[in-house]
């Protein structure tokens, strides 16, 4: 029998995140399940603290000489990019603007633009 994860705080089973008790950047390894709403409360409702921690983590990784992101000049196959961001592809196929698609999906506008270009490269027609 598979046990469904539930929020440690409110017992919800919807949109469960794994929250690090001690932030990873500070050496934390233990996580607890929290729903998006409770997790948002920990991070001031809009995950501002989370983005700060991500930036600190990236800075630390760079300082340690780790390579971040994909290698310069590498190419992502159209099907791979579309499969990686199906939510963005669906929004674009529904004729949602790049800016609105980015906001809805939580992806950057440049990612949405790349997905759009990949859709165009496989001859997907946005407008009739």
Q: Are strands 16-20 and 31-35 parallel, antiparallel or unpaired?
A: antiparallel
Q: What's the predicted TM-score (pTM) here?
A: 0.42
CA distance linking residue 23 with residue 34, whole number of Å? 15
DSSP letter assigned to residue 15:
S
CA distance linking residue 7 with residue 89, whole number of Å? 30
Nearest to 114 by CA among 76, 70, 87, 68: 76
Tokens linked to 112: 């949405």
Span 81-122, pLDDT tens digits: 888 888 888 888 888 999 999 888 888 898 899 899 888 888
Span 57-78, pLDDT tens digits: 888 888 998 877 777 777 767 6
Tokens linked to 61: 């990784």
């Amino acid at each position: 029998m598979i046990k469904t994860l539930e929020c440690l705080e409110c017992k919800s089973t919807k949109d469960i995140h794994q929250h690090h008790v001690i932030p990873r950047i500070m050496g934390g390894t233990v996580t607890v399940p929290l729903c998006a709403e409770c997790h948002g409360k920990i991070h001031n409702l809009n995950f501002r603290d989370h983005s700060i921690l991500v930036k600190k983590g990236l800075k630390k990784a760079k300082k340690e000489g780790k390579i971040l992101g994909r290698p310069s000049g590498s190419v992502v196959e159209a099907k791979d990019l579309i499969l990686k961001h199906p939510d963005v592809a669906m929004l674009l196929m529904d004729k949602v603007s790049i800016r609105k698609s980015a906001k809805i999906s939580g992806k950057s506008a440049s990612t949405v633009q790349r997905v759009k270009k990949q859709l165009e490269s496989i001859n997907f027609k946005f407008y009739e």
